[in-house]
Amino acid sequence: MYKPPQQRSKSRIPTTAPKTSSSQQAQGGFLVQPKGIETTGKQQDAPKYSQEAANHIMAKMLAATAQTSPQPDVEGLGLGQRMIQAPAVVDTLPIQRKLTVGAPGDRYEQEADRMASQVMSMSNNTLQRLLVPKEQTEEKVQTKSLKKSSTVPGLGENTVIQVEAFIKANQYQQAIDAIVSDQAKAGRINMSFLDGGAIYYNSSLAGEGQVNPPGYAGTGKKQKANPSRVEIGSTAFVNGVSLLYSSMMHEYQHVLQFQVSGTSPSKVPGQGLNPGLIHQQEVEAYSWEAIHSKQTGMYSKPTEMQEIWRRLHDEHWVNLSATEKKPLIDIVKRAYKVAQNAVGKKVTLTFNP
């Protein structure tokens, strides 16, 4: 299912020396598979209905019945509880209550339309089984993290709505800007680390994104990293807000890695071009994606989670010596746990650190 013929350039391009000019474009680099594409293909071992579909179904049903309900419920929960009485289902309702219904034509929306009409004609018992796959009821952590907001708890709800609209309208730069602005306000992105205080969409960039080591300015204690030019490619837009957000933050981890050692939060800081460091920094960036997948919403996309782990392990981790693995082993273990939980028990990830 993986390994589509398309190739993309690697996120962090190692083939040129750290640069001082942002106009210089690196060529080549490692080639890996696009992430996200495979989700349009067959689902392996996924519950019969995707999380998105289930969310939309619930949102639609709530909206539909709310019109006939004489007493609207403040939280929108009363209706759901009446419709689905099993305690296991109530546990998952907070996930669904705040979701907005997408515009017609949306892939998940179409799925939701079809499902909603089927669902309405089912008994409570059937409905319960449909909306609550086993893995989900067992995933208390997931429920807890998703309670906070919609499917992308790490972004403001308005930001998610805006970004969805921008992506739908192919306004990719605006989508990126909205996420940068949101995350800067939340203290998760330092805009002064970014060239021009922004992240740029590059339509000709194959893959999700790239950033080159920016070089340093100053010497001694005054030394600091130059701002990094981060570019996002069109592959980052193929699977909704979560993939875009996760991809942008992946690149931002490289920006942090390029900060001067001691001020960088990275376990493997530096702008070196030796393959060992580059693989280490990729392992760290993909680990971030797995560990923060509940924040980005990637956690509810098992195929993406499998792909994150595949890249982390197959493309980078296996290339590291024992010494190079050492500073990363803890975060890789954490990443494994989250990824394995996300893909569910039926799928065993290839490597257990």
Q: Which is nearer to Zn ion, 8 or 301 (CB)?
A: 8
Contact 241, 297 (CB under 8 A): yes
Q: Give the nearer residue to Zn ion in terms of CB position, either 13 or 89.
A: 13
Nearer to Zn ion, 127 or 283 (CB): 283
- Contact in structure between 199 and 182 (CB atoms under 8 Å): no
Contact residues for 64 (Cβ-Cβ < 8 A; gap 6+): 116
Where do contacts with Zn ion occur on this chain (CB under 5 A)? 11-12, 282, 285
Bridge-partner residues for 230, per DSSP?
Answer: 211
CB of 246 to Zn ion, least distance (A): 11
Q: Which is nearer to Zn ion, 12 or 279 (CB)?
A: 12
Report which of 80, 244, 87 is spatially closest to residue 162, judged by C-alpha positions: 244
Q: How far is the CB of 182 from Zn ion (least distance, A)?
A: 21
> Which is closer to Zn ion, CB of 16 or CB of 128?
16
If the CB atoms of residues 135 and 282 are measured against Zn ion, the closer one turns out to be: 282
Residue 12 C-beta: closest distance to Zn ion, Å = 4
State which residue has the least CB distance to Zn ion: 11
Tell me the C-alpha to C-alpha distance, in Å, between residue 221 and each of 107, 162, 218, 227: 53, 42, 8, 18
Q: Which helix (H) or strand (E) holds 254?
A: helix 240-257
Would you say 53 or 189 has its CB closer to Zn ion? 189
Phi, psi of 232 (to 5 degrees): -115, 130
Mapped onto helix, strand or coil, the DSSP state of residue 115 is helix
Tell me 91's DSSP state.
T
As given in the structure block, the two tokens for residue 205 are 């960039």
228: DSSP letter: B
Q: Which two tokens mark 106?
A: 């949306």
Taking the C-alpha atoms of residue 4 and residue 11, their distance in angstroms, rounded to an integer, is 18
Nearer to Zn ion, 109 or 251 (CB): 251
Which residue spans within the chain are E strands per DSSP? 8-9, 31-32, 200-201, 209-211, 216-217, 224-225, 230-232
